[in-house]
Amino acid sequence: MLAPGIILAVACVVFILLVLFGSGFDHPAQLLWPLAGLLVVWVIFLRPCVQMTQAGVVLRNIVRDVRCGWPSVDLIEQRWNLKVYDAQGKGFGSWAITAQRPRRAGRRGGMGSMLGAGFGSRRIEPENLAEVMEARPESAAGVAEQIRAAQLDYAGAVERDPSVRAKEEFAAVPAWPAIGALVLAVIFVVLAIVG
C-alpha cells in the first residue's frame, strides 16, 4: 500500500505546486482540496505500518496504534492480514500488512513485478516457499516471520540479561496525529466548499 500512497502524495504535491506557480494563485481555497487529499493519503496509505522495537511490536493503524510488548505476544496469524494475539486470545490486526499471494522469487524490477503480472518462469513449489517469502517481506507471512525472529532475539537477550525485560503490554491507543490529520482534512474540505 506504500506505492499507491507515494503516487497519490506526489500527485497532491504536484497539484499544489501547479496552483501556486502555474495558474495564478488568486484564492486560498484552491489549496485546501489538495492539502486535504495529502492528509488523507498520509493517514490511509503512508502512516500505517508494523514497527518492531526493543519493547515489542507496534501496529500503526489508521486511527489507533496497538502496542504489543514482547512478553504479551503469544500468536501471530497471517491468514487474511497480519494479526497479533496475546495469551488470552485478544488480537489486533494490521491495516498496513495484508495477506498477499506470493510472487515468484527471483524477479527484481521490470514491468512484470511492478504490475504483478507474473511473467517469471519459476513455479512456486513447497520446497522454495521460504525463499519466496524472503523475497516478499512486505507480505503478512514475511512480516510474521520477522516478528517471530525478533521474538527469539528478545528471548535470548532476556536470558542473557534479565534487566532488558519489556513490559507486558497489549493495548490499543488512539493515534492522535492521524485523528488530528483527518479532522484537519474535513475542516479543509468544508472551508473549500464554503469558500
| Tens digits of residue pLDDT in 100-130 | 544 444 444 433 333 333 333 334 343 443 4
Partner residues linked to 57 by β-bridges: 52, 68
Phi, psi of 116 (to 5 degrees): 70, 30
pLDDT in tens, 16-45: 888 888 766 677 778 899 999 999 999 999
Predicted local distance difference test score (pLDDT) of residue 186:
97
Which run of H or E residues covers position 133? helix 129-135
Mean pLDDT throughout 88-98? Answer: 84
> For residues 3 and 162, what is the distance between their CA atoms, to the nearest angstrom?
41
Q: What is the three-state SS of 136-193?
A: CCCCHHHHHHHHHHHHHHHHHHHHHCHHHCCCCCEEEEECHHHHHHHHHHHHHHHHHH
Is the whole-model pTM more than 0.85? no
| 193 pLDDT higher than 70 | yes
Mean pLDDT throughout 147-170? Answer: 89
